[in-house]
């Protein structure tokens, strides 16, 4: 019964809910495009608004988490996030959709910051590494959201009804765990702390690894369904499967992540991860066949799964920067790429092709393998670059 008295279940529920709502959105992007008659370039601009909302929320959420406590702020943001998914589904026009996605991005980004802060409190309380398990729960939620999208598309359910159902389901299943008692630490931030922290020195290379991972995750979340439908010619239901298999393999790898890193070291794991992700992108873009593409998305999920946790661990162990500042600086690049990368891919798709956008992801994945030594040979090992 000890685990019940820890915040693990509450934090895991927060990660799962965050993933569920984003996965629900990602699975219905083609339906939203059709509803509002959006081109790939116009969708990219809409996604840019979503990304801008998230980036603006990061520093505000961090300060609120410090001053009010990560747990209560996360709970409040969870309620707002549930409501904003409804706004996205019910938006009557492109202007309203852009406004709804901006607020949706703010809630997603803010909750991402506060729930990760809550996760560090839980990890400290439990006295053992559990961060990977939390990120695995996020992937579980995202996969569940994508699966709900597949079911909704199969029965031709409108996005508004689908999003309403997903919000109600998330609230009923996960809100009781979010409400488990936990007293968060209050840490008033220094007035001199920078609003946006960027990596310096060796952490620049660590930030590039996080950026590459963020680009890949964001691209699959927002463009995999569109790619399968418009480039490979699948139906709408089949198009949702790319994100499903991506999320499933990401869950599996994240559940095994701590043990694998402890055995082989972060540098070796990152090197292989980059190669696996690049191999997956090759399967997605070269054979141009549904089965190969789904296998490719699965490999992408396996390849990207460990990179962000590894980058955060390396940032926290940096000998020249305080842990919090290091993590914040790397997170800015990682989450910035996750949210702003998809709009850039949309513009590439408008000017050339969506296939080219995915090919460019492969270049970044190979870059991860080249930069992998900056992460060190063992967790927490200090590395210079």
Distance (Å, whole) CA 226 – CA 222? 8
Which of 126, 153, 180 is at the close of a domain?
180
Q: Residue 379: is its pLDDT beyond 50?
A: no
- Tally the domains of the chain: 2
382 and 246 assigned to the same domain: yes
Distance (Å, whole) CA 354 – CA 347? 9
Distance (Å, whole) CA 295 – CA 245? 8
- pLDDT of 280-307, one tens digit each? 999 999 999 999 999 999 999 999 999 9
Q: Residue 360: is its pLDDT beyond 50?
A: yes
Cβ–Cβ under 8 Å, residues 143 and 248 = yes
- pLDDT of 161-205, one tens digit each? 999 999 999 999 998 898 888 777 776 654 455 555 667 778 899
174 and 206 assigned to the same domain: no
Q: Rounded mean pLDDT of 211-218?
A: 91
Average predicted confidence (pLDDT) for the chain = 84
Domain span at residue 325?
A: 196-385
- Within 13 A of 212's CA, how many CA atoms are on the CB side? 34
Closest to 209 (Cα-Cα) out of 62, 61, 114, 329 = 329
176 and 222 assigned to the same domain: no
Tell me how crowded residue 320 is: count the other CB atoms within 10 A of its CB: 11
Which of 155, 180, 205 is at the close of a domain?
180
Cβ–Cβ under 8 Å, residues 136 and 14 = no
Q: Residue 89: is its pLDDT beyond 60?
A: yes
According to the model, what pLDDT value does residue 247 have?
A: 83
3 and 147 assigned to the same domain: yes
333 and 220 assigned to the same domain: yes
Q: Residue 4: is its pLDDT beyond 50?
A: no
- pLDDT of 51-68, one tens digit each? 888 878 877 787 787 778
């Amino acid at each position: 019964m000890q685990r019940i008295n820890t915040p693990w279940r509450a934090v895991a529920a927060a990660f799962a809910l965050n993933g569920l709502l984003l996965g629900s959105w990602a699975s219905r992007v083609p339906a939203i495009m059709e509803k509002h008659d959006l081109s790939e370039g116009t969708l990219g601009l809409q996604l840019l608004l979503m990304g801008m909302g998230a980036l603006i929320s990061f520093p505000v959420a961090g300060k609120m988490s410090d001053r009010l406590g990560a747990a209560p702020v996360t709970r409040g943001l969870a309620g707002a996030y549930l409501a904003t998914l409804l706004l996205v589904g019910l938006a009557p026009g492109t202007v309203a959709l852009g406004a709804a996605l901006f607020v949706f991005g703010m809630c997603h980004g803010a909750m991402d910051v506060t729930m990760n802060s809550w996760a560090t409190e839980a990890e400290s309380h439990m006295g053992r590494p559990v961060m990977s398990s939390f990120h695995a729960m996020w992937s579980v939620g995202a996969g569940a959201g994508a699966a709900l999208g597949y079911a909704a598309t199969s029965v031709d359910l409108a996005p508004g009804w689908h999003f309403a159902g997903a919000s109600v389901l998330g609230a009923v299943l996960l809100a009781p765990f979010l409400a488990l008692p936990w007293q968060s630490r209050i840490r008033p931030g220094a007035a001199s702390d920078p609003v946006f922290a960027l990596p310096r020195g060796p952490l620049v290379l660590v930030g590039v690894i996080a950026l590459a991972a963020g680009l890949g995750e964001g691209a699959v979340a927002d463009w995999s369904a569109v790619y399968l439908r418009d480039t490979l010619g699948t139906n709408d239901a089949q198009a949702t499967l790319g994100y499903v298999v991506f999320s499933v393999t990401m869950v599996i790898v994240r559940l095994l992540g701590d043990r694998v890193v402890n055995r082989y070291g972060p540098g070796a794991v990152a090197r292989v991860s980059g190669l696996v992700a690049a191999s997956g992108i090759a399967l997605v873009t070269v054979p141009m066949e549904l089965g190969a593409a789904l296998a490719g998305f699965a490999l992408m999920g396996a390849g990207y799964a460990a990179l962000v946790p590894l980058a955060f661990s390396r940032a926290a162990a940096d000998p020249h920067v305080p842990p919090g500042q290091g993590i914040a600086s790397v997170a800015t690049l990682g989450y910035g790429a996750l949210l702003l990368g998809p709009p850039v891919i949309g513009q590439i798709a408008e000017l050339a092709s969506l296939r080219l956008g995915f090919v460019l992801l492969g270049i970044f994945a190979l870059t991860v393998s080249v930069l992998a030594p900056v992460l060190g040979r063992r967790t927490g090992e200090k590395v210079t670059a």
